[in-house]
Amino acid sequence: MRSVEEQQARVAAAAVAPRPVRVAIAESQGLMCAEEVVTERPLPGFDQAAIDGYAVRSVDVLSVGGTDDDGLNREVSLPVVGEIEAGARTPSRLQPRQAARVQTGAPMPTLADAVLPLRWTDGGQSRVRVLRGVRSGAYVRRTGDDVQPGDVAVRAGTIIGAAQVGLLAAVGRDKVMVHPRPRMSVLSVGGELVDVSRTPGNGQVYDVNSYALAAAGRDAGAEVNRVGIVDTDPAALREVVEGQISRSEVVVIAGAVGGAAAESVRAVLAELGEMEVARIAMHPGSVQGFGQLGRDGVPVFLLPANPVSALVVFEVMVRPLIRMSLGKRQPLRRVIQARTLAPITSVAGRKGYLRGQLMRDQDTGEYLVQALGGAPGASSHLLATLAEANCLVIVPSEAEQVRTGEVVDVAFLAQRG
């Protein structure tokens, strides 16, 4: 029986990131930047007003608030020689002891070196009385304050978020090279399956896996094609699988381990490349398959028919491969330690990935965890408990029992809502 870590290493060795592509910046969010974005122009590209107010020479207003030799407060009023709006393209020039009304983002007139906030004036239209002086550079965004030509605006390897999209737009980039989402195809096999659009007959069940695994793939960052239920007739199955491995970086087939149907599936896949079904020292989902099919050696996973087992195997094996294909430096979920609130039963000799609810003690800040689903095997099929889980409790392979109050490793699942 192979260890989880050994199987994960085999899977990781097959990870191949899709070639970088150039996309519109509006479509780049959440993807990893694949180039050093070097700015060609300063940002901002001109001296501009940072607030609404009056553009002035600081030397003309700096004395406001002081006193003359006779002890009287100095007062300054300046003629307002015009108004400059944001987006104004006509150059303007300020003479000594003049002011110009400016809007936020408006280009500063020549000789002006500060903006006098409206609240520090009487708001005059033709002449403004200054109530408080400003120093040189106050409330002005200087040319290149944010970015200078030749600066790197977004570095290769950066995950593009809202701030990076904004910066790309600010430096005039409408497209950017990114590592694209790996394409993943999801298939289900099993004579008992019907799609959710139909009413199941006697002995039939809904195809849960293709929907659940497709959602898990999207959560991991893949671009997913949910093929759905596939006929296990050898010729038909081969045609479908060949089509999917030609257009995907990852293929997931649920229901292809265990049973006569799985045997016929594996026989077809063996014609397309190397495929191995093995027992992995984990539960649930001990029996699983992995191989590389087609001319390009596309990673193909065979998952159990049990929806909970399939999702756990996806979480442990498939999701890290997708994250590596996206270029993520940390493909695994964040793991923290938590204290158990009740005993946990596991399977000796297998690493357990058990559904749980993680919480935090408000007084101590300590993480606490409650395992869901009871004893292994008795309710491992219950999808409802997985839907309630916000973590996986990781139980070492040598542990058969975890007592109340013991500390265990816990992997965060994606937050809902």
3-state secondary structure (DSSP) of residue 224: strand
Can you give the pLDDT of all 417 residues of the chain as single tens digits?
Answer: 899 999 999 999 998 777 889 999 999 998 889 999 988 888 888 899 999 999 999 999 987 765 444 444 567 889 999 999 998 888 889 999 999 999 999 999 999 999 999 999 998 999 999 998 899 999 999 988 888 888 888 998 888 999 999 989 988 899 999 989 999 999 999 888 889 888 888 988 899 999 999 999 999 999 999 999 998 888 999 999 999 999 999 999 998 887 766 788 888 999 999 999 999 999 999 999 999 999 989 999 999 999 999 999 999 999 999 998 887 778 888 899 999 999 998 898 999 999 999 999 888 989 999 988 654 444 445 566 667 889 999 999 998 889 999 999 999 886 543
φ and ψ at residue 260, rounded to 5 degrees: -65, -40
- 160 contacts: CB under 8 Å, gap ≥ 6: 28, 29, 30, 31, 32, 33, 154, 168, 176, 178
As to burial, measured by CB atoms within 10 angstroms (0-12 exposed, 13-18 middle, 19+ buried), residue 123 is exposed
In whole angstroms, what is the distance from residue 284 CA to residue 291 CA?
A: 20
Altogether, the residues listed in the chain come to a count of: 417
- 226 contacts: CB under 8 Å, gap ≥ 6: 186, 210, 211, 214
**Structural domains for the chain:** 4-18+181-326 (3.40.980.10), 21-42+153-179 (3.90.105.10), 48-141 (2.170.190.11), 335-412 (2.40.340.10)
Task: Kindly report the pTM of this predicted structure.
Answer: 0.74
Residues paired with 141 in a beta bridge: 48
Instruction: Determine the number of helices (DSSP H) and then strands (DSSP E) in the chain.
Output: 9, 28
